[in-house]
């Protein structure tokens, strides 16, 4: 069970409206509400099949437990952690396990695209990974730390950074049997197997130095589709390179019989395969969905006892997403919140396309009354987690102008019982002064037109947790 959150730490939200920035002191009669917390009573957990098997090994073609019994992991991959970090939290992972019967989450750490090696905040990204590892461990799930090579084409581009990163991760989680390491997501752009193999021979020993039995996943050429290239010259199966598997990625609308034939041939050649990413749409992550082809893939994966992770845990407006774009929840998902892909995956994992487990939902809405200028402020707690003795809260806010005139240069003040720090914010500027955070607009949402709303103002804060 998750720890109960101390809601007394949050005092109130005060919405202050002013015609020009900095004149909040001129506002009269600004009103406020206390925090209102709404939550459904949590039902008993759905009894799922055994999900945790202890430390894993690779034996022949298969992933196994320490006794050599075949193990199949089934779950989901996050989208890029730099874009959707909010889904990496304890309550989301709890629901993935308890409600959707998943025992695997893949943490997609992009190297390029403002990711870990190209301008992203390394410390914050590492914190997200740590949050994911801890949440997965708590709920008896396995977790893949994925070095998400994509637009960088070859893993050699950031080889130095990969060595440093995996050294840090392997050392930190050396005693955690829940962790699996994926060292290059999808090499592409003409990157051949020998180049990937050379890279893998340098990275795997870095990991195995701290955990000699850690399972390591190695990508294959052409967006992890050319298994047969790896089968012709695999890494050694003993010593520094034991417990290695090779990844296959497919998207059902695009990849059909030809790629399934390659998988069959690789299996016949005793290549251990792990499907660390797949979708039931086309290879772009969007477009049409082909359930028939997806079901053929599942039949083959089940036949060969191959583990898999579906792309992706987010509400991005694309076919591959687990959630609909309209879903703003981080947990407590209902059937109506799931995309077509999400419903299909739920049926595959639970035998039903419906969400039947009633879990605690995050409908915690903090609503202020209308101020004199008819600005209605609503906020929702969309995430909460603990890390290093600190409590973190994520809010999603919306502003609605119910008045007859447009409102320019709005201002919202949030007051707390204790001093807080701003971790991140978006779709608005944010400044903190002790126990108060002031939100002001950015260029594109300076005006709240009469009768309209400004949505998706985001804020993540933290404070020292009381003992």
Can you give the CATH number for the domain in which 107 is found?
Answer: 3.20.20.80
Residue 180 tokens, joined: 């699996």
* 273 and 403 housed in the same domain: no
* 321 and 404 housed in the same domain: no
DSSP annotation of 370 reads: P
**Residue where one domain finishes, among candidates 288, 319, 350:** 350
Residue 46 lies in a domain: no
Residue reference for tokens 């583990």: 307
* 370 and 306 housed in the same domain: no
* 298 and 149 housed in the same domain: yes
Q: Which domain holds residue 321?
A: 57-350
The dihedrals phi and psi of 355, each to the nearest 5 degrees, come to -90, 115
Instruction: Tell me the C-alpha distance between 189 and 260, whole Å.
Output: 22
Residue 355 confidence (pLDDT): 66
Q: Which member of 90, 226, 277, 318 is catalytic?
A: 277
Residue 209 lies in a domain: yes
Residue 49 confidence (pLDDT): 53
Residues 6 or more apart whose CB falls under 8 angstroms from that of 36 comprise: 364, 365, 366, 367
Q: Which member of 86, 186, 226, 384 is catalytic?
A: 186
Structural domains of the chain, count: 2
* 135 and 198 housed in the same domain: yes
Alpha carbon separation from 357 to 1, 73, 140, 276, 309 (Å, rounded): 15, 21, 18, 27, 22
Residue 5 confidence (pLDDT): 41
Residues 6 or more apart whose CB falls under 8 angstroms from that of 294 comprise: 252, 280, 344
Residue 48 lies in a domain: no
**Residue where one domain finishes, among candidates 350, 372, 405:** 350
384 a catalytic residue? no
* 319 and 268 housed in the same domain: yes
Residue 383 tokens, joined: 């995430």
Mind listing the pLDDT tens digit of every residue in the chain (467 residues)?
333 344 334 434 433 333 333 333 222 222 222 222 222 223 223 344 567 899 999 999 999 999 999 999 999 999 999 999 999 999 999 999 999 999 999 999 999 999 999 999 999 999 999 999 999 999 999 999 999 999 999 999 999 999 999 999 999 999 999 999 999 999 999 999 999 999 999 999 999 999 999 999 999 999 999 999 999 999 998 888 999 999 999 999 999 999 999 999 999 999 999 999 999 999 999 999 999 999 999 999 999 999 999 999 999 999 999 999 999 999 999 999 999 999 999 999 987 666 653 333 333 323 333 333 467 888 877 667 766 778 888 888 888 887 778 888 888 888 877 888 998 887 889 999 988 889 999 877 888 888 888 887 888 888 876 54
Residue 37 confidence (pLDDT): 25
Residue 204 lies in a domain: yes
Pairing, β 421-426 against β 453-464? antiparallel
* 328 and 207 housed in the same domain: yes
458: nearest Cα among 418, 412, 419: 412
Residue 109 confidence (pLDDT): 99
Cβ(448)–Cβ(407) below 8 Å: yes
Alpha carbon separation from 170 to 149, 162, 449 (Å, rounded): 19, 12, 52
Residue reference for tokens 């290059």: 184
The dihedrals phi and psi of 184, each to the nearest 5 degrees, come to -165, 110
Residue 413 confidence (pLDDT): 84
* 74 and 218 housed in the same domain: yes
277 a catalytic residue? yes
Residue 412 confidence (pLDDT): 86
Instruction: Tell me the C-alpha distance between 350 and 97, whole Å.
Output: 11
* 160 and 275 housed in the same domain: yes
Residue 357 lies in a domain: no
Convert 188-211 to b/e letters by CB count within 10 Å (16 or more is b).
beebebeebbebbeebbebbbebb
Residue 374 confidence (pLDDT): 65
Cβ(291)–Cβ(263) below 8 Å: no
- Give this prediction's pTM: 0.69
Residue 313 lies in a domain: yes
Residue 49 lies in a domain: no
Residue 356 confidence (pLDDT): 52
* 392 and 283 housed in the same domain: no
Query: Beta-carbon neighbour count of residue 322 at 10 Å?
Result: 28
* 389 and 264 housed in the same domain: no
Residue 52 lies in a domain: no
Residue 442 tokens, joined: 């950015």
* 315 and 421 housed in the same domain: no
CATH of the domain at 18: 2.60.40.290
**Residue where one domain finishes, among candidates 306, 324, 350:** 350
């Amino acid at each position: 069970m998750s720890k109960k959150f101390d809601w007394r730490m949050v005092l109130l939200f005060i919405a202050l409206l002013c015609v020009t920035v900095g004149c909040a002191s001129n506002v009269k009669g600004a009103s406020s509400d206390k925090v209102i917390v709404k939550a459904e009573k949590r039902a008993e957990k759905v009894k799922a099949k055994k999900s945790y098997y202890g430390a894993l090994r690779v034996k022949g073609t298969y992933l196994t437990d320490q006794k050599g019994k075949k193990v199949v992991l089934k779950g989901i991959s996050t989208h890029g952690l730099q874009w959707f970090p909010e889904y990496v939290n304890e309550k989301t992972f709890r629901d993935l396990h308890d409600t959707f019967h998943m025992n695997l989450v893949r943490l997609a750490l992009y190297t390029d695209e403002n990711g870990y090696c190209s301008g992203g905040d390394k410390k914050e990204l590492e914190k997200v990974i740590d949050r994911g590892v801890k949440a997965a461990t708590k709920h008896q799930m396995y977790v893949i730390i994925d070095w998400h090579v994509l637009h960088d084409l070859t893993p050699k581009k950031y080889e130095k950074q990969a060595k440093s990163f995996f050294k840090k991760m392997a050392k930190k989680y050396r005693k955690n049997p829940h962790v699996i390491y994926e060292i290059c997501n999808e090499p592409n752009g003409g990157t051949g197997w020998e180049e990937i193999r050379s890279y893998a021979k340098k990275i795997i020993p870095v990991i195995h130095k701290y955990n000699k039995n850690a399972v390591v996943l190695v990508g294959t050429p052409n967006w992890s589709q050319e298994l047969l290239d790896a089968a012709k010259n695999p890494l050694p199966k003993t010593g520094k390179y034991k417990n290695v598997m090779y990844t296959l990625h497919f998207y059902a609308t695009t990849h059909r019989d030809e790629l399934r034939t390659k998988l069959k041939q690789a299996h016949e050649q005793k290549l251990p395969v792990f499907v660390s990413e797949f979708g039931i749409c086309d290879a772009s992550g969007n477009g049409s969905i082909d359930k028939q082809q997806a079901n053929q893939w599942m039949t083959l994966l089940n036949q060969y006892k191959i583990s898999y992770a579906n792309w992706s845990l987010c509400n991005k407006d694309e076919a591959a997403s687990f959630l609909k774009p309209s879903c703003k929840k981080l947990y407590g998902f209902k059937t109506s919140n799931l995309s077509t892909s999400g419903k299909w995956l739920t049926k595959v994992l639970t035998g039903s396309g419906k969400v039947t487990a009633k879990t605690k939902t995050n409908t915690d809405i903090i609503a202020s009354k209308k101020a004199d200028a008819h600005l209605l402020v609503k906020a929702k707690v969309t995430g909460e987690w603990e890390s290093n003795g600190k409590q973190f809260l994520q809010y999603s806010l919306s502003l609605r102008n119910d008045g007859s005139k447009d409102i320019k240069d709005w201002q919202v003040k949030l007051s707390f019982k204790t001093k807080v720090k701003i971790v991140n914010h978006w779709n608005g500027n944010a400044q903190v002064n002790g126990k108060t955070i002031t939100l002001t607009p950015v260029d594109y949402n300076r005006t709240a037109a009469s009768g309209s709303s400004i949505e998706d103002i985001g804020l993540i804060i933290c404070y020292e947790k009381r003992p």
